[in-house]
């Protein structure tokens, strides 16, 4: 699976489902990177065929409306959209 | 892979769209860097899908399925009314323009299942001389045999009109 890994301080397991073209997804990545947080991300619009289907099903479990960004924290909760305050609480 | 879009293409698109939006009472996000990134993304989508799909939603690659999310999308005006911004933060209200903080908003687009079920509306019997067509983007109405080539208000293409009466 082509998850991209970004090195940084471990603040829990963070998986970001994003689109390469989306402005709020970019803002989410910037927030994570400015804080030096370790995380993984995947650009769903760059996937094709089976890989796309598989990831879409994964995202729907967390966010049935399949919107972006979806940030899954510790396999427990999903933060949908660029909710700056919620994301900051996770990475403080 | 992602098609290449040159800076001068983005700049030209920005100038054209800003002028057009302002002329009919819409506003682009005053954060020019953010706005130009979104416009670059729309141009990327035009190149890779053949239509300017919303950059903040996952496009299907099928134009007929994605007509509602070709920018400006069918959800822009209700989102501007309720949140002062479109889903992407490309179009904003006068309040946001004056400096109110902008953030991401909930998705208004129905799920694929919901979209499939509302598509068929019953055609009302009409005694009018002409059918009335409605622009799904801005609500413009006109009574004529066919919808216009492009909406005279918001400039979207003919295919974004629905039969209203």
CATH code (residue A44): 3.40.30.10
Take residue A20 and report the two structure tokens written for it. Answer: 């390469």
Verify whether the Cβ–Cβ distance B104 to A65 is below 8 Å: no
**Contact status of B99 with chain A (Cβ, < 8 Å):** no
pLDDT at B11: 98
Selecting from B1, B104, B111 the residue whose C-beta is nearest the C-beta of A24 gives B104
**Contact status of B55 with chain A (Cβ, < 8 Å):** yes
* Contact (CB, 8 A) for B21 and B27: yes
Size of chain A in residues: 92
Domain that holds residue A52: 4-91
pLDDT at B161: 95
How many separate domains does chain A show? 1
Residue in chain A lying closest to B112 (CA) = A65
Selecting from A45, A64, A83 the residue whose C-beta is nearest the C-beta of B58 gives A45
Q: Assess whether pLDDT exceeds 80 at residue A33.
A: yes
CA distances to A30, B25, B84 from B153, in Å = 37, 9, 20
**Contact status of A22 with chain B (Cβ, < 8 Å):** yes
Q: What is the pLDDT along chain B (165 residues), one digit of tens a residue?
A: 788 999 999 999 999 999 999 998 899 999 999 999 999 999 999 999 999 999 999 999 999 999 999 999 999 999 999 999 999 999 999 888 888 888 899 999 998 778 877 765 555 556 888 899 999 999 999 998 889 999 999 999 999 999 998
Closest among B109, B64, B66, B63 to B86, alpha carbons compared:
B109
- Residues 5-44 of chain B with CB under 8 A from chain A are 34, 37-38, 41-42, 44
pLDDT at B2: 82
CA-based diameter of chain A, in Å? 37
* Residue with the two structure tokens 């999903």: A78
Take residue A71 and report the two structure tokens written for it. Answer: 């940030």
Residues of A in contact with B44 (CB under 8 A): 21
pLDDT at A2: 84
> CA dihedral in degrees (B52, B104, B13, B72; nearest 10)?
50
For an interface test with B, which of A23, A46, A81, A83 has the most B Cβ atoms less than 10 Å from its Cβ? A23
- ipTM at complex level: 0.92
**Contact status of A23 with chain B (Cβ, < 8 Å):** yes
């Amino acid at each position: 699976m082509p998850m991209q890994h970004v090195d940084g301080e471990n603040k829990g397991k963070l998986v970001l489902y994003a689109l390469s073209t989306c402005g709020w997804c970019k803002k989410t990545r910037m927030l994570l990177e400015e804080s030096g947080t370790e995380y993984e991300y995947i650009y769903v619009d760059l996937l094709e065929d089976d890989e796309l289907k598989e990831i879409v099903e994964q995202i729907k479990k967390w966010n049935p409306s399949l919107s972006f960004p979806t940030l899954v924290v510790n396999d427990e909760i999903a933060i949908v959209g660029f909710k700056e305050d919620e994301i900051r609480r996770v990475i403080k | 892979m992602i098609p290449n879009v040159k800076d001068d293409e983005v700049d030209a698109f920005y100038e054209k769209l800003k002028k057009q939006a302002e002329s009919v009472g819409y506003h682009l996000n005053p954060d020019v860097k953010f706005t130009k990134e979104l416009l670059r993304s729309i141009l990327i989508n035009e190149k890779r899908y053949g239509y300017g799909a919303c950059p903040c939603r996952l496009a299907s690659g099928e134009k007929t399925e994605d007509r509602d999310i070709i920018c400006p999308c069918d959800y822009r005006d209700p989102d501007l009314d309720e949140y002062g911004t479109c889903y992407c933060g490309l179009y904003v209200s006068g309040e946001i323009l004056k400096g109110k903080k902008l953030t991401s908003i909930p998705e208004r687009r129905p799920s694929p299942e919901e979209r499939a079920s509302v598509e068929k509306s019953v055609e009302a019997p009409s005694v009018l001389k002409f059918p009335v067509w409605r622009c799904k983007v801005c609500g413009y109405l006109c009574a004529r045999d066919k919808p216009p080539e492009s909406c005279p208000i918001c400039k979207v293409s003919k295919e974004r009109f629905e039969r209203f009466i």
